[in-house]
Structure 1
Amino acid sequence: MVPDEVPAIVPRSARFTEARWVAKYRWAALGGDLIAALVGVSLALVARFGAQINEGYFVLGAVLPVAWLACVALERGYETRYFGTGPEEFRSILRAAVALTALIAVTSYATKSNVARGFVVLAVPMTCLAALLVRWLLHRSLAGRRFVGRCMRRVLIVGRNQQVTTLRKHLEERPADGYTVVATCLPRGDVRAEPEAGSAKLGRTEEDILAAVDMYSVDVVAVAADPELAGQSLRRLSWALEQRGIDLVVSPGIVEVAGPRISIRPVAGLSLLHLERPSVSGGPHLLKNIFDRVVGFFMLLLAAPILLVAAALVKFTSRGPVLFRQTRVGRAGDEFSMLKFRSMVVDAEERKADLHEQSDGNDVLFKLRDDPRVTRVGRYLRRFSVDELPQLVNVLRGEMSLVGPRPPLPTEVATYAIDDARRMLVKPGLTGLWQVSGRSDLTWEESVRLDLRYVDNWSIALDLLILWKTARAVFGRDGAY
């Protein structure tokens, strides 16, 4: 299936052809940004000047939307590769707002114009917020289409079997990112025992790759950490793909590491990939502690009425203590007493052995969807995660964090492998990545993988995102038992 010759120069008609959805998205983004600028400028004019708007500001109000579109374009806000990516697309809007502010300042100084600062302070932020809202709506719309297999970028993965399989798995786990694998190029003889549906496997020479690109109408070629396809070979491939308007991406083989920790720096004439250390100590750790204590305090105040009602219900509907205390392992292996509202009968631990074979949990954690040990009130407390609220006291004590890995039992820690123990580099949390990614329904390996991803990529922004997703998960049915 490989042609005898692959032309060095591709006909112009074969270059840079865009999918129909790309053009629609670009026009929607352009139109949305223009409307955002018109709305932002109009509101700023009315708010700053009321009905007394002089002619000069009408001219400025007409020029600013055009300048806004130019700034967004300069900040790559209309590049195909960023469409639907989310963070990078939003960052282009924020950078455009900074660029527009600088442009107004420089132009005002150069032309000796006296532009009202109040107008600029209102116009630029309102335009930026409106544009961010437009992009968020476009992003959500595109993500919905991608979940049903539409508006996807067709990917050809090149590399060895194991690396190709890993990269393919990650791409298929995130359909909202918009990549669908249509073919793979492996070294001849290096094939899977069981071919996967929808994926052809070809050779891995440059001719094979280019033939596959043309055969499967590929949009992106992804090289999966292949040491044999590097240097001059990779450079020549990039030239050939450039002629066809095809994107080339290279996976460094580093998985579960977020973009902010990865940077490319020139060293000795080479572009080297630097992997920054995770923020688990020092200033970032102090910032997380302050965030936990402040937010945890206000959450405890807001939850106080719920805590009182829940405590009364537990006390008067079943015998036993209101609070359930259990020894858990925290940061650096320190043990502490974790608090929860008691949601089970008093002899729950004694009855656990008889129910172990019915567990719906994973290989390490015991979970039972219809656990007979759970009290009637306890079932509702668990349904809305109210039984976890006393752990806010653990947060204020500094034993737990609002967000982090699940607090393990000492018996679990005793079975940890070296990789698993990295979870104890940070404090355990009330919620975490694994709770909002399936909660009780994940396997043990998936739970550990998500906890390690959190440890390696922690940030305040990630904590806020997880807290938001937790609120949504609490009011959903999945995994809440």
Structure 2
Amino acid sequence: MREDLSRFTKPTRTLILTKRQRNLVTVISLLIFDTLAIGAAFLLAYIIRFIWLPYGSLYTLNMYSSLVRIVIPIWLAIFAGFQLYNQHFLFGGLSEYSRAFNAVTFGTVVVIGLVFFMRDEDIISRGWLLISWFLAVFFVIGERFFIRRIIYYLHSQGHFLSPTLVVGANNEGRAITEQFRNWGTSGLNIIGFIDEFLSPGNKVDNNYFILGGLQDLDRIVEENEIEEIIIAPTSLTRDQLLCIFQDYSTSPDVKLRLSSGLFEILTTGLRIKEIAFVPLIELKEGRISGLEAFIKFLLDYGLTIPVLVLTLPILLIISIAIKIDSPGPIIFHRRVLGLNGIQFNAFKFRTMCLEANDILNEHPDLQAELAENFKLKDDPRVTRVGAFLRKWSLDELPQLINVIFGQMSLVGPRMISPPEMEKYGDWGMNLLTVRPGITGMWQVSGRSDISYEDRVRLDMYYIRNWTVWLDIFLLYKTPLAVIQKKGAY
């Protein structure tokens, strides 16, 4: 007699829409907002070029409106060609924004080509076209950013979620599930686990239940209308993996996802290359070089120099406060590892008293915590001013000097000392392929509240998946993380 396990599944509060209905609503919404964004860009460009600026036009607004009515459907088709309505590329990561930029740019080139083949170069103003391109990039990326925020909010409220099953309740499967649970915008509603070693009904991490073994997979997928299956491959044998792939890899209703391992998170850090008809997975190069390095250089110095100038009064006030609060130097420095393993002195405002080592020697328990995490949550060595500086991350402002010296970047992996390299194990050398950053993935993901293992994973993700868009995104998120003060100690 088959046991009823429905009581073990996590209930979903999602709005009653099928996957195809949700996709249809999403695409229609994007088409409407893209049309409005493109039309607004063209209209505002006309106002700027021919009304605000003291230049006349050979053609009226009606003439430009007629052209725009032809161009908008072409642009929407181009957007579709750039996969801007493909669910695989929406509402996650930064590729959607770069695709939008490329699509608008290509659409502008198409407009130029249309005018050329019409053999009437004067039909449009080059100034209008340039302004239209700039505004369209801004509006399209802006409206998609806005829509993404709405989708994320709905996800966080339990709506429009995809019923998801995790195969494997080992450490890897639990770590993946915990990450999804903490990341409320994932859009996944974890129903439970499939596991070969734990009995149905067993509770995992006080949140989810074991729903059955692999022999129950088809039934559980059907009964719970599962849309996504996430596999922790370290929990299965090769034959078991092949069996699941054969059953679900071509399914139109169930999306199969494979975790690439505890540290190799997300497939954007991997690429598949076929050799002798054998598909092989290889890591993308983590090094930032050539044009990418030049862009990162411009971003670092273009922001660091003005920020350093503007914060000089704040730096002076902090320096005076440190001197008044406790005896000792204003600036503290420690030896850390930089690009290619070169050591340098990383500067920070001093936040501890001079007797810090003596205090630590009196507390063996704190020594053990420090050795494990290289951080203390309740640190008796921190001064009053130091606690305030750490709370608002102001103690890191002197690291702007390290950026000027070319030793650090504004955004990068967390800087580590030579003893910490052991924590990174085989991934240590990968960490040294980029400069450490003042802020980064760890800063916007909970700072000191996240485990050391998670810090390593976040650093590896940043290195393998770096783009200038990721840096800009992290710079945008950093002030919000500082204001929330989560993990600041």
| TM-score, normalising length: structure 1 | 0.80
1:302-344 superposed Cα distances (whole Å, 9 cap, x missing partner): 2222222222222344333222343444445544333322233
Residue 223 of structure 1 and its aligned partner are, at CA, apart by 5.0
Q: Distance in 1 between matches of 2:424 and 2:41?
A: 55
Partner of 1:71: 78
Instruction: Give the counterpart letter for 2:153 in structure 1.
Output: G
CA separation of 1:446 and 1:193: change in aligned 2, threshold 3 A: farther
1:240-263 superposed Cα distances (whole Å, 9 cap, x missing partner): x23xx4434454558535555423
Q: Distance in 1 between matches of 2:488 and 2:131?
A: 44
The question of whether the paired residues in 1 share the 8 Å contact of 2:263 and 2:460 is answered with no
Partner of 1:13: none
Q: List runs of 5+ in structure 1 lacking aligned partners.
A: 3-15
Partner of 1:37: 38
Instruction: Give the counterpart letter for 1:384 in structure 2.
Output: W
Q: Distance in 2 between matches of 1:434 and 1:136?
A: 22
CA separation of 1:353 and 1:85: change in aligned 2, threshold 3 A: same
- Paired residues for 1:237-386 under 5 Å: 237-239=248-250, 241-242=251-252, 245-253=253-261, 255-257=263-265, 259-279=267-287, 288=296, 292=300, 295-355=303-363, 357=365, 363-369=372-378, 371-386=379-394
The question of whether the paired residues in 1 share the 8 Å contact of 2:334 and 2:345 is answered with yes
The question of whether the paired residues in 1 share the 8 Å contact of 2:392 and 2:485 is answered with no
CA separation of 1:40 and 1:344: change in aligned 2, threshold 3 A: same
Q: Is the aligned partner of 1:468 residue 2:479?
A: no
Match among 97, 109, 122 for residue 131 of structure 2: 122
Q: Is the aligned partner of 1:108 residue 2:108?
A: no
Q: Is the aligned partner of 1:228 residue 2:222?
A: no
Instruction: Give the counterpart letter for 2:161 in structure 1.
Output: M
Partner of 2:453: 445
Aligned residue for 1:176, secondary structure, equals coil
Q: Distance in 1 between matches of 2:201 and 2:427?
A: 30
The question of whether the paired residues in 2 share the 8 Å contact of 1:381 and 1:387 is answered with yes
The question of whether the paired residues in 1 share the 8 Å contact of 2:45 and 2:132 is answered with yes
Aligned residue for 1:175, secondary structure, equals coil
The question of whether the paired residues in 2 share the 8 Å contact of 1:183 and 1:216 is answered with no
Residue 122 of structure 1 and its aligned partner are, at CA, apart by 2.7
Q: Distance in 2 between matches of 1:452 and 1:82?
A: 22
The question of whether the paired residues in 2 share the 8 Å contact of 1:93 and 1:131 is answered with yes
Match among 137, 142, 162 for residue 151 of structure 2: 142
Aligned residue for 2:152, secondary structure, equals helix
Match among 95, 98, 104 for residue 97 of structure 1: 104
Q: Is the aligned partner of 1:182 residue 2:183?
A: no
Q: Distance in 2 between matches of 1:62 and 1:281?
A: 43
Instruction: Give the counterpart letter for 1:131 in structure 2.
Output: V
Residue 279 of structure 1 and its aligned partner are, at CA, apart by 0.8
Q: Distance in 1 between matches of 2:326 and 2:63?
A: 75
Aligned residue for 1:151, secondary structure, equals coil
Instruction: Give the counterpart letter for 1:26 in structure 2.
Output: V
Q: Distance in 2 between matches of 1:199 and 1:171?
A: 16
1:184-237 superposed Cα distances (whole Å, 9 cap, x missing partner): 5556x67689444555544546xx654433221122344554743677984564
Instruction: Give the counterpart letter for 1:65 in structure 2.
Output: I
Q: Is the aligned partner of 1:48 residue 2:49?
A: yes
Aligned residue for 1:436, secondary structure, equals coil
Aligned residue for 1:351, secondary structure, equals helix
Cα RMSD for the two superposed structures? 3.8
Aligned residue for 1:155, secondary structure, equals strand
Q: Distance in 2 between matches of 1:415 and 1:198?
A: 30
| TM-score, normalising length: structure 2 | 0.78
Matched length: 461
Between 1:136-145 and 1:349-358, the stretch displaced more is 349-358
Q: Distance in 2 between matches of 1:269 and 1:99?
A: 34
Partner of 1:5: none
Residue 289 of structure 1 and its aligned partner are, at CA, apart by 5.8
Instruction: Give the counterpart letter for 2:28 in structure 1.
Output: W
Q: List runs of 5+ in structure 2 lacking aligned partners.
A: 4-16, 52-56
Aligned residue for 1:453, secondary structure, equals helix
CA separation of 1:298 and 1:95: change in aligned 2, threshold 3 A: closer
1:153-183 superposed Cα distances (whole Å, 9 cap, x missing partner): 1224457967655654554443312122335
CA separation of 1:276 and 1:417: change in aligned 2, threshold 3 A: closer
Q: Distance in 2 between matches of 1:284 and 1:102?
A: 24
Q: Distance in 2 between matches of 1:156 and 1:56?
A: 55
CA separation of 1:444 and 1:124: change in aligned 2, threshold 3 A: closer
Aligned residue for 1:101, secondary structure, equals helix
Partner of 2:227: 219
1:442-464 superposed Cα distances (whole Å, 9 cap, x missing partner): 33333333333334444443333
Instruction: Give the counterpart letter for 1:121 in structure 2.
Output: L
Instruction: Give the counterpart letter for 2:107 in structure 1.
Output: L
The question of whether the paired residues in 2 share the 8 Å contact of 1:152 and 1:178 is answered with yes
Q: Distance in 1 between matches of 2:373 and 2:261?
A: 29
Instruction: Give the counterpart letter for 2:75 in structure 1.
Output: W
